[in-house]
Amino acid sequence: MSRKTIVGAVYLWAIAGLASPLAAGPDGKDATAADLARPAKKAAPPNILLITADDMDYGSLGVTGCTIPGITPNLDRLASEGMRFTHAHVTVAVCQPSRSVLMTGRYPHRNGAMGFEPIRLDVPTLQESLHAAGYLNGIFAKNAHLAPAGKFCWDVVVPAEDLANGRDPALYYQHSKEFFEKARAAGKPFFLMANSQDPHRPFAGADAPQAARRQARPNRQNRREKATTVGVNRTYTPDEVPVPCFLPDLPEIRKELAQYFASVHRCDETVGQILRALQESGLEENTLVMFLSDNGMPFVFAKTNCYRFSTRTPWIVRWPGKVKPGGVDDRHFISGIDFMPTILEAAGLPPVAGMDGRSFLPLLAGKPQEGRDELYTVFHQTSGKRNFPMRSIQDRRYHYIFNAWSDGKTVFLSESTGTPTFKAMQAAAGTNAAIAARVRMLNYRVPEELYDTESDPCEQKNVIDDPKYKQELERLRAEMLRVMESTKDPLLDAFRKQTRK
């Protein structure tokens, strides 16, 4: 069979599954992805190493703009050796649903894991495809957040308890080294999902039992969280940390941010130790490495919401010989629903029917890809089993959010509303009108929000009622309606009712 025939076959193969509702469809240039995944000469399938952070904000890395010197040297180096994405987002800003999206390529309302529950048994997973293709599948920490376990075909499971609650870089090195040697001895390609539990609360240096009690109740996950005795090699003072623009600059907030950034640095050390083990294994050259966070930082107006700071993630890809070092894609949007189709194509495996995402392999080759100008994100339920359904659609400038739960009476409660940061905001609201308005907005929200992120990058001025933005509002409403209809979103009727008012 000729190379041209093979490329054409793989191209048709790749478009056989469901395309993203936001995608315009293949542009005819996607065949370059087939060249990446299926070179003319038969090659060993690539190893896949996915490293995740827990609750890390996009701007927490040095390479993405954090002003703390030396905050993430290992991640910065990884980015210099591969490609990072400026407009990368997870699909839902809370951990179990976010991770379930990664491994199914489907929105939460299409895979069944809308909150902290298992995916549906009829939904195919990435691990099932990889297992059938002979991959050795492994997971470090957060294994309970991909359920039911039988759908994920893990050959190796290292629970968080064996990694000092997912926070000890030295233990990640030890277990990574053992896993890579196991794959080498078995003669199998591997898929390893190595999950750091930094910088999730309790932060480094925090009083862990008190920190857990401060979080919203009931929250079974937080009650299971144990204090970790792992130290940190670097701590920060409140004066030397940046305050994200969506939070007010208050002493108690700076104190928590100092602890958060100590946890960020420790996460970076964990990444460094995993990559060190990979290099020493001799398997580095044939390993596709991806790094991302499962959602934004665990502060109000970030995690468990649909704001830009809720879902934007520092997504980095390194693939020796395939991805040009030092690349930055600042044009295309990629999303959590795109992870599974991308990995399947990179591994030379057929797509799975029913996925909402599509492969972004052409982007890794430096090629443009149509239909990546907008992004749809969702939220359903907090880990405390409280339902606050939200939907969001955004492009490079505008961001529209639909809060189906907002009725002027219901109060928003999540892990972040019980923290010292939010308590400090509530205390300051008594004398500061701007902070009082932010507290009120967080508590009650409004049914619709619209932000012009060009003039308001911190998303603090809702222009939903400004006639100047009427045309953009109608355009984004129409786009949201289209996605909702195509995915049979359960909020469709509520959205229609709201927008017909």
C-alpha span between 108 and 123 (Å, rounded): 11
Q: What angle do CA 178, 184, 190 make, to 5 degrees?
A: 85
CB atoms within 10 A of CB 365: 17
Q: What is the DSSP letter of 92?
A: B
What would the pLDDT profile of 96-111 be if each residue is shown by its tens digit? 999 999 999 999 999 9
Q: pLDDT-based confidence at 11, cuts 50/70/90? A: very low
Residue 298 has pLDDT above 80, yes or no: yes
Tokens for 20?
A: 């993203």
CA–CA distance, 394 with 399 (Å, rounded to integer): 4
Average pLDDT of the residues of the chain = 90
Task: Note the pTM of the prediction, 2 decimals.
Answer: 0.89
- pLDDT tens profile 65-88: 999 999 999 999 999 999 999 999
Over residues 196-215, the pLDDT tens digits come to 999 999 999 885 434 333 33
What's the pLDDT tens digit per position in 461-496?
A: 999 999 999 999 999 999 999 999 999 999 999 999
Is the model's pLDDT at 157 over the cut of 80?
yes
Q: Tens digits of per-residue pLDDT, 237-289?
A: 999 999 999 999 999 999 999 999 999 999 999 999 999 999 999 999 999 99
> 3-365: what CATH class?
alpha beta
In angstroms, the CA 287 to CA 283 distance is 7
Q: Quick check: 260 and 180 in contact, CB under 8 A?
A: no
Please report how the helices 420-428 and 433-444 are oriented relative to each other, as an axis angle in degrees rounded to 10.
Answer: 130
Starting from the edge strand earliest in sequence, which strands make up the sheet with 448-452, in order?
375-381, 387-394, 398-403, 448-452
What's the pLDDT tens digit per position in 329-346? Answer: 999 999 999 999 999 999
Domain coordinates in residue numbering, the chain: 3-365, 376-499
Rounded CA separation 114/109 (Å): 6
CB 146 within 8 A of CB 123: no
Helix (H, G, I), strand (E, B) or coil at 81: coil
Using the predicted structure, report yes or no on whether residue 353 has a pLDDT greater than 70.
yes
How far apart are alpha carbons 470 and 217 in whole angstroms?
A: 40
Q: How far is CA 88 from the centre of its chain?
A: 8
